[in-house]
Amino acid sequence: MNRFDDVLRATATRLALPQPARLRVLLELSADLDDLYDAYRARGCDDAEAKRRAVESLDLSPEALTGLGDVHHGALRRLLDRAAPESLVRWERTLLGVTGLLAAALAVAAADGRAVVRAAGPWAWPALALGALALLLFLGKAYQLQLKQDHHPRRLRRGLSLLQAVALALPCLGVLGGWYQAWRLSVDPATAARPLAAVLLDWGVAASALVTITWTLGLLAALAWFFLSGRVGRIERDEAAFLLER
């Protein structure tokens, strides 16, 4: 049993949030209360006094709870929260299978990888850097959740927003790079002396190579984010069930 069960249960009744957003808020409040309790105990307070001061120090006003709800219940989070846990598990398995197929396809095409990068031009390097960042974020989060077993509420979702941003940035980079390549060709004085078909062919090859790189890496990053988000969601439900068990 948690020493702040009574406070958390009372707070839960005041949270105008659907599940599992309500559970995420309660987990964060529980972590804050435990930290405050430990701090007051370190100052020499007894158990009852430390608990009382921790509750008094934490802002549980309606305005503060509303702010927490806004943080934990964004538009994308609402979309994912509407999906049943069983449905998310099925989606994760499907997406893992798709990821495996993509990885196999990339392995087959590895021999031509350098040619694709050369065809994409200098825009390929920031795309590859973002892909490497997404891989590091995924491996770091997987290590935290699976091997280190660090399930502290404050750290559970750390890094997921950045991984999501990388997944969205990669396709945008491909589109932006393609338009930039078209603009460069249009202002290049040497273009006027070449046949239009040859110019369009050069642009099509470069843009296609860049889109292939950015959209493939973006899809893999999105799949990694979706998988980790589902895993974190299950951990949050398990932690909340343990926290609020009677």
User: Would you state the pLDDT for residue 130?
Assistant: 94
Tens of pLDDT, residue by residue over 6-21, are: 777 777 667 666 556 6
| The three-state (H, E, C) secondary structure of 140-205, written as one string | HHHHHHHHCCCCCHHHHCCCHHHHHHHHHHHHHHHHHHHHHHHHHHHHCHHHHHCCHHHHHHHHHH
Residue 91, pLDDT above cutoff 80: no
Q: In terms of pLDDT, which residue wins out, 96 or 183?
A: 183
Least confident of 34-48, 49-63, 126-140, 161-175: 49-63
> Rounded to an integer, what distance in angstroms lies between the CA atom of residue 181 and that of residue 176?
9
> Rounded to an integer, what distance in angstroms lies between the CA atom of residue 29 and that of residue 243?
11
Residue 84, pLDDT above cutoff 80: no
Task: Round the average pLDDT of the chain to a whole number and report it.
Answer: 75
How is the chain split into domains, by residue range?
5-78, 84-243
Q: How many CA atoms lie within 13 A of 147 on its CB side?
A: 5
User: Would you state the pLDDT for residue 95?
Assistant: 60
Q: In terms of pLDDT, which residue wins out, 110 or 174?
A: 174
